[in-house]
Amino acid sequence: MIEIRELTKRHGRATVVDRLSFTAEAGRVTGLLGPEGAGKSTTLRLLLGLSTPTDGSASIAGREFRDGPPGPREVGVLLETSGVYCRHAGNTARESLTGLVRRYGLPRGRVDQVLDEAGLAEVEDRRIGTFSLGMRQRLGVACALLGDPPVLVFDEPLNGLDHCGLAWAGNLFRRLAGEGRTVLVSGQPPIQLTGLAEDLVVVSDGRRVEGRRATLLLGREARPRVLVRTPDVAVLTALLADEGASVVLNDDQSLTVTGLTAQRIGDVAFLNVVPVHELVPEKPGR
């Protein structure tokens, strides 16, 4: 469990995080959402002991990391992929992960496991310098998983992912939470995170916002969510993504579609001769 209590961070006269409080429960995916500059990354850095709070507290499993960040067996972290890219651009994905395993004394077998989990097994011998942003995001997630930690903290991991990558991330995050882990993921609304996180924390100007303002920031009124079942998952996913929707593949092979109405989804499927077996709009307030 992650607990943020009245967390505050000031830089001179500027308050970057302002009395922020929320809890990320074990066994659930928690989304930390807000526009650029809302204080999300600063909050995560305070949580991980990479910066010192002015006031309040941030703890993981009851422990505050004020003297330095936790180890990879305690917390898996993806704060940015540029560090992986810049330091290891000449290495392959496997070489980069193997180096981390040696550095932290982790089991060598974890390299194969996380390459597979990240969908990078087929490109493990490619140089990281040739990776797209989406592939670097996958590698960053693989690095976070190496220690098989009970808590995972991802800062905007969905940036640069295509619709297949988004489906992969959604399935992975939900599976990790289903194993009893705490999964905290940040992002900017309106994004696909609203379709995969079970709990949402919305921040703006360093403060938590709720009610009408949170709804407006999330753009939920303009972004309906619909449950869809079809035997042609890949085809319909691609068609809806082309329409600007975000699509998450659920464990039961249903789709959660954000950004299109049920009527529009039905029209797209009909015009492209894709069978749809179920089309259920999300009820307001869920």
pLDDT digits (tens, 9 = 90+) for 43-83: 999 999 999 999 999 999 999 998 788 999 999 999 875 55
- Tell which of 186, 218, 250 closes a domain: 218
Count the Cβ atoms, other than its own, within 10 Å of residue 69: 15
* Total count of domains within the chain: 2
CATH number of residue 262's parent domain: 3.30.70
Tokens of 38: 């809302």
Query: Do 29 and 51 reside in the same domain of the chain?
Result: yes
**Does the pLDDT of residue 113 top 70, yes or no?**
yes
Query: Do 236 and 114 reside in the same domain of the chain?
Result: no
Per-residue pLDDT, 223: 60
Q: For the chain, what is the mean pLDDT? A: 88
Per-residue pLDDT, 207: 92
Torsions phi, psi for 146 (to 5 deg): -55, -45
- Tell which of 165, 189, 218 closes a domain: 218
Q: What is the pLDDT of residues 162-173, one digit of tens each?
A: 778 888 898 899
Give the alpha-carbon dihedral of 216, 39, 18, 197, to 10 degrees.
60
Per-residue pLDDT, 124: 93
- Tell which of 173, 188, 218 closes a domain: 218
Q: In terms of residue numbers, what domain contains 276?
A: 224-286
Reported as a pLDDT band with limits 50, 70 and 90, residue 1 is very high
Query: Do 61 and 152 reside in the same domain of the chain?
Result: yes
Output Rg (C-alpha) for the chain, integer angstroms: 19
Q: Which amino acid is at 200?
A: L
Per-residue pLDDT, 46: 95
Per-residue pLDDT, 194: 62
The pTM of this model reads 0.76
**Does the pLDDT of residue 86 top 70, yes or no?**
no
Q: State the number of CA atoms in the 13 A half-sphere of 242 facing the CB.
A: 9
Per-residue pLDDT, 285: 43
Count the Cβ atoms, other than its own, within 10 Å of residue 241: 18
